[in-house]
Amino acid sequence: MPDARWTVSEGGPGVPIGAAAYPRGVPTILSRDEWIERARAHEARADALTAAHRERAARGEKHPVWDFLFTYYSYKPAMLRRWHPGAGVVLQDAPERAGWRWYSSADGGAVAPDADLFRTEKPQLADLVERMLRRTASRPGQFGCFGLHEWAMVYREQEHRHPVPLRLGQAGTDAVVETHELRCTHFDAFRFFTPDAVPRNRLPLTRDSQPDLEQPGCLHAGMDLYRWAVKLGPLIPGELMLDAFELARDIRLLDMEAAPYDLSAWGVRPVRIETAEGKAEYVRRQREFAERGTVMRERILDAWLAASTGSAAPMGH
């Protein structure tokens, strides 16, 4: 049945009815030609971003750097190419999307992402995403970890997550950990620490404490902006979701450049964080990513605000 909370006049702006779906402002209306064009542009961009991964997957080939973006986050290339308009946007003449999750329908085949449906079905997720984004944004960045979380994941262990040799060997890798303080603030990195590395971290981390400790200098907090964008589904514009993917991709490279692994076979130049020069490069690039992450975090929060108020979020990247 059509959703009675809003109607769309053919060739004219939508008229909100009631306060549930679009409590403030008039939604942006996209004609079928307009939204089809944006969807096709999005699909082409997504295909370009995932082409190398899809080609490797077809050959059954693994990659220690880039597979992470599709295994740890578990979002497949087909998901990336699915375009959504974001909250506060109505798609005219879009009957094929009427059954899509978290969309509402109106007369004439118009559809729109529905924040109320999302909140009703995923109230805890909605609260978690907003809490994580806002709390992380409210804190200053910390820049003294030097990417040692990856080193802590192989500390005093012969079996490693990646079947790749260590640049400094096991003894040399262990020595780097033992001559530095582990300052990890990201639980989803900390949970992969070896048993001997766990007590060496400055703080004991738990899932419950994550919203209280996440900070914008953390590389993984920046990569996770992609996770939060995906979890908000059609409430986030597809263009913004791909921007978040690109940020995660760029951060991932530094994450592995600074790792203890010898990735020269994959053309990865190490950032030798065991040296003063390597530390300086790491921190410089970490700060740059923190700045990009701050902007991305604000954009996702703006889109989430649009979901709450019914006003369209700004586009572009």
Show which of 121, 149, 174 is a domain's final residue.
121
Residue 48 Cα distances to 55, 60, 81, 110, 237, angstroms: 11, 19, 10, 30, 18
> Model confidence at 314, in pLDDT bands (50, 70, 90)?
very low
176 falls within a domain? yes
C-alpha to C-alpha distance for 156 and 29, rounded to whole angstroms:
58
Is 314 within the bounds of a domain?
Answer: no
pLDDT at 101: 93
Domain identity same for 60 and 143:
no
CA dist list (Å): 217 to 139, 148, 287: 9, 14, 7
Per-residue pLDDT of 206-231, as tens digits, reads 999 999 999 999 999 999 999 999 99
Q: Is residue 315 part of a domain?
A: no
> Residues 146, 243: one domain?
yes
Range 230-243 burial, b when 16+ CB lie within 10 A, else e: bbbbbbbbbbbbbb
Q: Is 72 exposed, middle or buried (0-12, 13-18, 19+ CB in 10 A)?
A: middle
For residue 207, being part of any structural domain is answered with yes
- On whether both 68 and 157 belong to a single domain, the answer is no
Mean pLDDT value across the chain: 89
In sequence order, the β-bridge partners of residue 182 are 201
Residues 6 or more apart whose CB falls under 8 angstroms from that of 136 comprise 214, 215, 216, 221, 297
Last residue of a domain, one of 121, 141, 168: 121
Determine the average pLDDT of the residues in 252-278: 97
Please tell me whether residues 279 and 153 are part of one structural domain. Answer: yes
The predicted model gives 73-77 an average pLDDT of 95
- 102/134 Cα distance (integer angstroms): 23
pTM for the full predicted model = 0.88
- Looking at residue 308, its pLDDT comes to 66
Query: Is 252 found in the same domain as 167?
Result: yes
The amino acid at residue 93 is: D
Domain assignment present for residue 278? The answer is yes
What is the domain count for the chain?
2
Residues 94 and 177 in one domain: no
pLDDT digit string (tens) for 269-313? 999 999 999 999 999 999 999 999 999 999 999 988 877 665 444
In a domain, 190, yes or no: yes
Tokens of 265: 């076979």
Shared domain for 158 and 88, answered yes or no, is: no
Domain holding 289, by residue range, is: 130-309
User: Which of 121, 155, 170 is the C-terminal boundary of a domain?
Assistant: 121
- The residues with which 14 forms a beta bridge, in sequence order, are 8
Same domain, 134 and 77: no
Buried b / exposed e over 125-135, threshold 16 CB at 10 Å, is ebeebbebbee
The bridge status of strand 89-91 relative to strand 28-30 is: parallel
Q: Domain check: are 31 and 73 in the same one? A: yes
Residue 172 pLDDT more than 70?
Answer: yes
Q: 14-16 and 111-113 as β-strands: parallel, antiparallel, unpaired?
A: unpaired
Pair (20, 108) in one structural domain: yes
Claim to verify: residue 92 and residue 161 sit in the same structural domain: no
SS3 content of the chain, % helix, strand, coil (to 5): 50, 5, 40
Residue that is written with structure tokens 């600074």 in the block: 258
316 is a domain residue: no
Considering the domain architecture, whether residues 264 and 304 belong to the same structural domain is answered as yes
Task: Report if residue 100 sits inside a domain.
Answer: yes
| CA-based R_g, the chain, Å | 22
